[in-house]
Amino acid sequence: MRKAVYPGTFDPVTNGHIDVIKRGSIIFDKLVVSVGCNPLKEALFSVKERMQMIQEHVKNLKNVKVDCFDGMLVDYLKKQKTNIILRGIRTVSDFEHEYQRALTNRVLNKKVETVFVMTSEQYSFLTSTLIKEAVSLGGSVGQFVPPGVERRLIQKFKHLHGKNS
């Protein structure tokens, strides 16, 4: 059985992420979408909220599980009993960054393999950061995120702005 881990911050999950998840679910027998806790990034949504948003939109994919991890990805892979990482690539600059990560992971564990999937072209410009910025400025992002995610973003920014007023 081929099992892979698709790690990310998913803050929030976008249609580009869902595209990679759906395509990964075809390639692998089992796919674990794992929300990572990165101490260098300040997340808008909690890990639990991010996991819920992903779960809502992959529940029809029977071979996809949503999980979370902190610490080193290579250690998490051991716990998941796999050596395969799935990563989505949007642009050449993504590839350069992901290539460095893949090589680092391979140095940390020479059995680790990273599989890159090109994001569908209609999502090639999407980033969670741009989506958060657009919503914070009053923009509509419903076409870029799964149903319900835009509503959660609007609520989160209203709450944040309410605290700062």
pLDDT band at 163; cut points 50, 70, 90 = low
Quick check: is 90 catalytic? yes
Q: By three-state DSSP, how is residue 35 classified?
A: strand
Higher pLDDT, 160 or 148: 148
Cα 122 to Cα 19, 22, 92, 119: the distances in Å are 10, 15, 16, 8
**Which tokens hold the place of 162?**
């309410």
Question: Mean pLDDT throughout 76-98?
Answer: 94
Report whether pLDDT(133) > 80. yes
pLDDT in tens, 96-129: 999 999 999 999 999 999 999 999 999 989 899 9
Residue 44 contacts by C-beta under 8 Å, 6 or more apart in sequence?
11, 12, 132, 153, 156
pLDDT of residue 42: 87
**Out of 57, 87, 90, 132, which one is annotated catalytic?**
90
pLDDT digits (tens, 9 = 90+) for 3-56: 999 999 999 999 999 999 999 999 999 999 999 987 777 899 999 999 999 999
Indicate which residue of 17, 50, 87, 132 is catalytic: 17
**Token pair for 19:** 């595209």
Domains in the chain, please, with CATH?
3-124 (3.40.50.620)
* Catalytic position from the list 2, 41, 78, 161: 41
Tokens 């997340």 label which residue? 43
Q: Is pLDDT of 80 > 90?
A: yes
The DSSP letter of residue 119 is P
**Structure confidence at residue 39 (pLDDT):** 79
Residue 135: predicted pLDDT? 94
Which of 25, 34, 57, 128 is an active site residue?
128
CA 86 from chain centre, in angstroms, equals 10
Active site annotation includes 128: yes
Contact 33, 54 (CB under 8 A): yes
Active site residue 159: no
- In terms of residues, how long is the chain? 165
